[in-house]
Every structure is written in structure tokens, then in C-alpha cells.
Amino acid sequence: MKLIVDELIADTNQPEPDLTLLNQQIEICKATLKRLLMTAEESQSSQHKPRQLHIYFSELVERWQLMRPSLNASIEIADAPMLALFHPTIDQSILNLLNNAADASPEKVEISIDWTRENVTLDIRDYGAGLDPLAVDELGKPFVTDKSNGLGLGLFLSRATLTRYGGTVKLQNTAGGGTHTQIVLPLQSAEHNPWGDELE
């Protein structure tokens, strides 16, 4: 696909928007495969490196936006310098919850990411139909979902992964309609790093 798209772009003075989008999607696939390989290698070698939080979350949200090109999202990410270390599986858990919001409300999603020395807080607000009040306490369990074609496994796995590394996930209906999802992740110090690496 990459070769074909490159040839089509080379043969066109001004590439069609669809070609440009397809090329971006292919690059996402390549980057995802590369990250999967790196994650596998890191899991075996236990070599995880801390990153600046602003860069980490900016890249994560950018990947998500490229996956959802028609999404209308308002995003605020703090820029206070802070090094942190997250297990590689946390990326996908956050993406799953962002995708839930995008599925519920593609026309408007608001995201705010901020941190202190102890925690990172991600607030995700969608303007969809909201949660079923009768099932809200059961959400997050396998095979419980408010999607007509879902199995509830995405939220279950995301919550399980984030909880495993000390995080929490809370979902609640908002007064103006839609759902507020809040993720809180602890910032690990070298002394309490669960993967045995030292922060540099």
C-alpha cells in the first residue's frame, strides 16, 4: 500500500486529500508496528525510559487525532516540565478511552491533561447520549456496555490495565449532557518504580 500511494502522490502535482489521509494512516500503521516491537523488546529487557509529560501526551493525542481525522476535539495539555515513566500498555488504555468519547460524540470532545508532582489527571468530556443510569455502576465489567454493537471489553481492559499500575478511571454523566471520564495516574519515583528502572 505504501508503494502504491507513494507512486500515486508522485504522479500528482497536488495530491488529493484522500491520498494524503491514506498516506497518514499508513504512517500510523508503521509507527504502531514499530511501537509494538519496541514494547515487546522493552518488556523482555525491562528497559523503560522516562519522558517529558508534555511530549508524551502531545504525541499520544496526535496519534489519536490521526486515527480520527473527522473528530472535532478541543485539547489542553499542561506544559510544566516533568519527567515520568509509564508502562507501554498504558498508551493503548488511554487511547481506548479517548476512542470511546469520540464514538459517543465525534462532533465535540474536550480533553484536559494536567499534572502535579504526584499525579497526572486526564479529563475527557464528550457530548453524546451519556451513560445509562441503570447500568452505570456495572460499566467496566466484561460484557457490560452502553454501545449497541460493543462487548464492554475495551473499558474493562483499559480500567484493569490502569488500575494495575496504580491509576483510576471514573465515568459519570454531566449536567449538560454527555459523559465525563477522568483518568488519574500516579507519577512513579525511582524508589517506587514498579518496573525496576531508574529515572534519569
Tell me: the pLDDT tens digits for 130-140?
Answer: 887 655 555 54
Q: Could you give the CA distance from residue 137 to residue 30 in angstroms, rounded to a whole number?
A: 38
Instruction: Report residue 6: phi and psi, to 5°.
Output: -60, -40
What pLDDT band is residue 10 in, cutting at 50, 70 and 90? confident
What pLDDT band is residue 148 in, cutting at 50, 70 and 90? very low
Q: Evaluate whether residue 197 is within a structural domain.
A: no
Q: Are residues 11 and 83 located together in one domain of the fold?
A: no
**What is the predicted pLDDT for the residue at 168?**
94
Looking at every residue in the chain, the average pLDDT score rounds to 79
| Lowest-confidence segment of 20-24, 121-125, 190-194 by average pLDDT | 190-194
pTM: 0.68
Q: Are residues 63 and 37 located together in one domain of the fold?
A: no
CA distance to 30, 34, 37, 125, per residue, from 41 (Å): 17, 11, 6, 35
**What is the predicted pLDDT for the residue at 62?**
92
Q: Are residues 30 and 89 located together in one domain of the fold?
A: no
**Domain hosting residue 167, numbered range:** 50-186
**What is the predicted pLDDT for the residue at 130?**
83
Residue 127: pLDDT over 70: yes
Q: Could you give the CA distance from residue 147 to residue 151 in angstroms, rounded to a whole number?
A: 8
Q: Are residues 130 and 109 located together in one domain of the fold?
A: yes
**What is the predicted pLDDT for the residue at 175?**
87
Residue 40: pLDDT over 60: no
Total domains, the chain: 2
Q: Evaluate whether residue 198 is within a structural domain.
A: no
**What is the predicted pLDDT for the residue at 17?**
73
Q: Are residues 80 and 175 located together in one domain of the fold?
A: yes
What pLDDT band is residue 153 in, cutting at 50, 70 and 90? low
Q: What average pLDDT does this structure show over 151-161?
A: 75
Q: Are residues 82 and 167 located together in one domain of the fold?
A: yes
**What is the predicted pLDDT for the residue at 198?**
37
